[in-house]
Amino acid sequence: MRPRTHYAKAGDISIAYQVTGDGPVDLVRVPGWISNVDYEWEYSPLARLIERFSQFSRFIRFDKRGTGLSDREVGFPTLEQRIEDVHAVMDAVGSDRAVLFGSSEVGNMSILSAATYPDRTAGLILQGCQARGQWAPDYPWAPTKEQIEEQLIELERDWGGAVDLKDGAPSLANDQLAQEWSAAYMRYSASPKAAIAMWRLGAEVDVRGILSSIRVPTLVLQKEHDRWVKQEEGRYLASQIPNARFVLLPGLDHLIWGDGQDRLIEEVEAFVTGVRPAQSYERALLTVLFTDIVGSTRLAVEKGDRQWKELLQKHHDAARHEFHRHGGTEVKSTGDGFLATFVSPTPAINCATAMRARLAKIGLPIRAAIHTGECDIRAGDLSGLAIHLASRLLAEAGQGDVLVSRTIKDLLVGSAFVFDDRGEVGLRDIPGRWQIFAVG
């Protein structure tokens, strides 16, 4: 029997979800490009997949904001907002920890969620996923920018008609019922404008920099002859995620309801029913913020000891107020600056820009640097490459600058932030060259 559609609140956005099954482990299917949880039941191969997953788990499906039965016309969701949607649904159904099952384009969000919130992630399944959505010299398997634009032109031209499945599901390419259902599914899942925007912006995401931070059990599934996502991409993910298991499935179809369904279900069931219990983590993926006062030595001389101490106290009070307001955690004071951490990039940037504006009013110019990476946690202090890199970025910042790493920019595709490219720099004691950006 088709389940009732419920709604969870992610901020002021309503997220539609359905729950089937009552197994001992929660399995959350994170929707890919677009979805409609109710219309999925109209196509028997997909309905069968849902029913099979529901036999060994409490299977939770939802439509992310802007798609399906969730609130529409809400703009393109950033990776952080997609994670909010997942947690809002989990909270609504009383799920503390769940296995995340991400297919295709949504793999990047699932990766970020698992790395950032290991205590809420029992395991991670990636099926037909990419680490980067667009070709690069060091990632040659993804489509080029020109190929993506050609796909979008074709998508917009043919929207609403029978879907050509020759690449997404070759085994169904001559199946008229599959073509017609897929066309209706797309219409019920998103508007053409929203769907194209999500496709285009999703192609800009690059999560390679955080793969090594994943510490939860991970299964990478990849179809052998997938035409949309090459098997090299699945192998790359498995090679970069610690202790990930890679399974190459026979078949042609990228779409999850295509060929080889039974083998896929078997692999998912074996993984879900065998996930390990929760662990305590001494390493975590965090967004790191460093700040300091520009020209503090000169200001101290100019102001005199008493006035400088008063200004410094105002600086400390303002910084701590903004940390609290934006959900940051103060790690330590560096005298004329701070090291603080956040669970994601957006609040860190908002905090830094708010500090910059607040302190400028009392004549204290600051600079800031932000990076997301894995940190070692010991006795309340932090260490690791992410800390060193953010510290070295700060040295590149000028008065009023809020500098961010390429990792931050790639994680905020679709956000309202504007980033000015400052080029590549060498950072002291850190190998290679690093591309940096300033928050506009």
Q: If the chain, 440 residues long, is cut into consecutive pieces of 10 residues, what is the mean pLDDT of each piece?
A: 92 96 94 92 94 96 94 85 94 96 92 93 96 93 92 85 83 89 92 87 88 94 93 96 95 89 92 72 85 89 86 92 93 90 94 94 93 83 85 92 93 89 87 89
- Which pLDDT score, from 0 to 100, does residue 279 have? 57
Amino acid 361: pLDDT: 92
Q: Which two tokens stand for residue 242?
A: 């610690």
Domains of the chain (ranges, CATH numbers): 6-272 (3.40.50.1820), 283-439 (3.30.70.1230)
- In eight-state DSSP terms, residue 70 is S
pLDDT of residue 258: 87
CA distance 241 to 220: 10
In this prediction the pTM is 0.82
**CA-to-CA distance for 229 and 105, rounded, in angstroms?**
10
| 28 C-beta neighbours (distance < 10 Å), count | 28
Q: Residue 344 in 3-state DSSP?
A: coil
pLDDT value, residue 379: 66
Q: Which of 210, 218, 159, 214 is nearest to 34 (CA)?
A: 159
The DSSP element (H or E) to which 114 belongs, if any, is: helix 107-116
Q: What is the pLDDT of residue 278?
A: 56
Separation of alpha carbons 341 and 29, rounded Å: 29
